[in-house]
Amino acid sequence: MSYSDLIEITGRVNDFLNAGSVLSWDARTMMPPGGGESRSKQLATLAVAARNLLCSDEMKRAQEGAEAECAGMPEDSPEARIVAQVRTAIDYHERIPPALLRRKTELGSAAQQLWAEAREKAAFDLFAPALSEMVEINREMAQAIGFDGHPYDALMYRFEPGTTQDGLTKLFARLREGMIPLVRAIAEADQPRADFLYRDFEPEAQLRFALSMAERIGYDTERGRLDTTVHPFEVSFTRDDVRITTRVYKNFLPAALFGALHEAGHAMYEQGVDTAYTRTPLATDLVSLYAVGGVSFGAHESQSRLWENHVGRSRAFWANHMGDLRAAYPERLDDVSEEEFFRAVNRSEPSFIRVESDELTYDFHIMVRCELEARMVDGSLEVDDLPDAWNAAMKDYLGVDVPDDARGVLQDVHWSSGQIGTFCNYTIGNIMAAQLFDSATTQNPGIQRALDGADYTPLRTWLTENVARHGRRFSRDELLQKATGRPLDPEPYLTYLTSKFSDLYALA
């Protein structure tokens, strides 16, 4: 068998995964509550079928033929990278018993329904049994995968290859060193006015405006759509069908808009992957069994955080689009200047909810989750003790008293689907976003001038050329090295935060 056979068979794996993505999207947007049990079995069948095809004798014969055929090609060529990634994925999945994968997938779909009910009722005890089982499954997976340091390393490998608990601890320490002085200084400063964000805003108008802004920055709705959900997400069924969701609060304006900008950043990554990579391993994560074209979840997050924060929360964005916002809500914001709105959506104040937190305090939410996850995985924290541990950590890091489970331990959907080990990606994404934006605007000053004039094409083009089009061809740090000249570096992020919030709060 040959390289072309390998591409054909991995294309079928991609089809299974995309079919599962369609069912997952439906489960989180349209499916009636009674469909959960059957849906969990459908998703499990597709996941196991994808895994079995990946590890089949047919795939292995194609892999061997492709290795021989591509032996003389450059190491970083698309063909060589595809062959290497398939070999890695086969080795990975052969360590994990298919029964364990089926158990995880079935539980994941059912647990999402339990999580949604528990969150609505603010009752962690409704979700705790499912979470306990999911943690145990992840412990078994970590043991099967293998690790040299902490079992959490094996779980993070699925989402952010190369990240370790030790390295993450050091990274978090450097961020705290740079961010805590800012947080403390802001606590003593006057907060910008923000009362107008909590007026009544008609939900349909919010969705229309959110979609219009997503389209304005470059989200292609010929290959996508916007829907509402409990927890915003993006999902792709190949680059030609990439969907986003957001959530709407009648009395909190920023949620729908910034949720849509965030997910549009994810979507534009997928829509920008080279067309030649469609249905290949360079647009499919064969290790985590997700149909995604991003090289890592952190790299993916960098695109969403860049468009949401470096663009959508910039002073230039609101200088250009405050008139559009007022037009979307007649007479509701006539008394609000563009500078007031800019300051309001950037105010820094500790809060309960991660997805609605400000840029400066956001990473403390991630630290809480990563530390608690690692403790659950190594057995030093029992699931039943999680709410108390969560509340104590939020008090320690952010100084807030969590009022209930819905605004505390139940706010994120990730644990219900078994995504233990993925939260580090959000902070890594923040760091990458600042590093990429700094390099883009330094290499090409015209990008910032274009942004000042509401022209988002030059930035989008730079990101497509330097990030999106490569799909999964390069590792995260290879991608950063090519685009910015260095691997992951927190310093541009800390410089960005210090400059932005020192200006916003007139700090010395």
423 pLDDT higher than 90: yes
pLDDT single digits (tens) 130-162: 999 999 999 999 999 999 999 999 999 989 998
CA distances from 197 to 187, 191, 327 (A): 21, 14, 16
Q: Where are the alpha helices (DSSP H) in 189-289?
A: 203-217, 254-271
Q: Determine the pLDDT at residue 112.
A: 87
64 pLDDT higher than 80: yes
- Phi first, then psi: give them for residue 184, nearest 5 degrees: -65, -40
101 pLDDT higher than 90: no
Q: How far apart are CA 192 and CA 341, in angstroms?
A: 9
Q: Determine the pLDDT at residue 157.
A: 92
Q: Determine the pLDDT at residue 462.
A: 98
Residue 19 placed within a domain: yes
Q: Determine the pLDDT at residue 36.
A: 84
Q: How far apart are CA 258 and CA 47, in angstroms?
A: 32
Q: Encoding tokens for residue 198?
A: 């909590």
pLDDT category at 18 given cuts 50, 70, 90 is: very high
pLDDT single digits (tens) 161-192: 989 999 999 999 999 999 999 999 999 999 99
508 pLDDT higher than 80: no
Catalytic residues: 263
Can you tell me the mean pLDDT for 252-280? 96
Q: Determine the pLDDT at residue 275.
A: 97
pLDDT category at 71 given cuts 50, 70, 90 is: very high
39 pLDDT higher than 80: yes
Q: Determine the pLDDT at residue 425.
A: 95
- Please provide the size of the chain in residues: 508
Stated pTM of the model = 0.93
Residue 100 placed within a domain: yes
pLDDT category at 102 given cuts 50, 70, 90 is: confident
Residue 99 placed within a domain: yes
- What is the crossing angle of helices 165-187 and 424-443, to 10°? 70
Residue 195 placed within a domain: no
Q: How far apart are CA 171 and CA 191, in angstroms?
A: 29
Count of domains for the chain:
1
pLDDT category at 40 given cuts 50, 70, 90 is: confident
Can you tell me the mean pLDDT for 269-289? 95
355 pLDDT higher than 90: no
Name the helix (H) or strand (E) containing 227: strand 226-228
Range of the domain at 85: 3-121
Can you tell me the mean pLDDT for 82-92? 96
The DSSP annotation for 233-257 comes to -EEESSTT-EEEEE--BTTBTHHHH
Residue 64 placed within a domain: yes
Contact 102, 44 (CB under 8 A): yes
30 pLDDT higher than 90: yes
Residue 494 placed within a domain: no
Q: Determine the pLDDT at residue 231.
A: 81
Q: How far apart are CA 116 and CA 49, in angstroms?
A: 28
pLDDT category at 208 given cuts 50, 70, 90 is: very high
Residue 11 placed within a domain: yes
Residue 102 placed within a domain: yes
